[in-house]
Amino acid sequence: MRTIAAIVSMLLCSGPEAISQQKIDVDKQFSIAAKQYEGMLASHPDATKFPQSTKPDGSRDDRKSNWWCSGFFGGSLWHLFEYTKDPKWKTAAEKWTWAVEQEKFNKGTHDLGFMLYCPFGNGLRLTGNKAYVEPLVTGANSLATRFDPDRGVIKSWDKHADCSFTVIIDNMMNLELLFWAAKQTNDKRLYNIAITHADNTIKHHYRDDYSSYHVVCYDADGKIFRKKTAQGAHDTSAWARGQAWGLYGYVLMYRETKDKKYLKQAEEIAKFLMNHPNLPADKIPYWDYNAPLIPNEERDASSAAITASALLELSSYSEPMKDKYFSFAESILQRLSSDEYLAKEGNNDFILKHSVGHKPAKSEVNTPIIYADYYYLEALLRYKKLNSKK
């Protein structure tokens, strides 16, 4: 006959509260991810067609190497190799890494960090292959050509509506490539570009509550004349992926500089996101924190994955909040690892479901997107490493 204590214990461990106490089975999640990406490799023999998303008709949406997301597939393959140590993933990662090499000369985009550092940077870190150095250095110098010293920022889009010079919050993610190249080549210029851009982003992109505008527009004279959105709900809203990019960006700024102002910026952004009144209980945000039809709006798994990965790294820097950051990220990963978001088959071989790319343009709405997979796998790797240190 069971004791009362045993019965109470069983009841406490059988309800929703118990879910938040369970540890994530990282082995299981990587096994599922590997199965999906085995299918992805089989369906993509041509390394000029990069998996991106799913079209509204259910067919695969592939892009060319000059698309800003081209580096995420190779980067994800490196994540699989890092976790499994299976050489087949190294072989695949090498193929899809070299597939984007030509973009090292691309001076028409600010996204070379995504395109080059995700595959080449991870490949160099995991293998030490010196052949990966030159594409990264060349790419960093290509990115640096977009820096305007008078405005103190890296130009984002070459053409956008009425803006002659645009800067978007996403740009924070590409500074990691500049920091790496600065250390590799002892080029202080690249380091200073990253610092100047990050400082001016704090100054011009962020509101008093530490939410971020998506787009800052400069006129021909170098003056800011408008702050707006492109992919968010409205100009003053908090577009979810943009907030995640900013959080991640300032975490990496602190990592690279150890300047406490960047740690404070990251902590304040995290506070905004973690305590937002429109954040659902399961911590997977709507595509915009101020979307007009909440709760009848799409969730964005990609924003959640980016946020989880950033918070896990932040937990190792912020002593007073480390447990809260870790627990919050763990909750996100638990939800993303559930049947609601994690695909065990189908889904055009992507790992995660339910991301949102550009809802105002009716593009990539409630669909898998390649960068959601990348940051989900990165977050799982970080989670595993942090758990091993406990």
Q: pLDDT tens digit string along 182-206?
A: 999 999 999 999 999 999 999 999 9
Residue 157 lies in a domain: yes
Residue 7 lies in a domain: no
Active site residue 208: no
Q: What is the pLDDT of residue 200?
A: 97
Give the active site residue among 27, 46, 62, 111.
Answer: 111
User: Six-digit token pair at 253?
Assistant: 């700024």
Residue 36 lies in a domain: yes
The domain in which residue 284 lies consists of 31-388
Neighbours of 275 (CB within 10 A): 8
We report the CATH number of the domain holding residue 63 as 1.50.10.10
Residue 6 lies in a domain: no
Look over the chain and give the mean of its residue pLDDT values, rounded to a whole number. Answer: 94
Q: What is the DSSP letter of 319?
A: G
Show the 3-state SS of 53-107.
EECCCCCEEEECCCCCCCHHHHHHHHHHHHHHCCHHHHHHHHHHHHCCHHHHHCC
How far is residue 277's CA from residue 366's CA, in Å, rounded to a whole number?
22
Give the active site residue among 170, 300, 349, 373.
Answer: 170
The low-confidence residues of the chain, meaning pLDDT below 50, are 1-22
Residue 234 lies in a domain: yes
Q: What is the pLDDT of residue 15?
A: 38
For the four alpha carbons of 30, 31, 33 and 38, in that order, the dihedral sign comes to: positive
Length of the chain: 390
Q: What is the DSSP letter of 23?
A: P
Neighbours of 334 (CB within 10 A): 18
Number of structural domains (the chain) is 1
Q: What is the pLDDT of residue 1?
A: 36
Q: What is the pLDDT of residue 221?
A: 85
Q: For residue range 112-157, what is the model confidence (pLDDT) as tens digits?
A: 999 999 999 999 999 999 999 999 999 999 999 999 999 999 999 9
How far is residue 65's CA from residue 101's CA, in Å, rounded to a whole number?
9
Q: What is the pTM of this model?
A: 0.94
Residue 193 lies in a domain: yes
Residue 25 lies in a domain: no
Active site residue 259: no
Residue 86 lies in a domain: yes
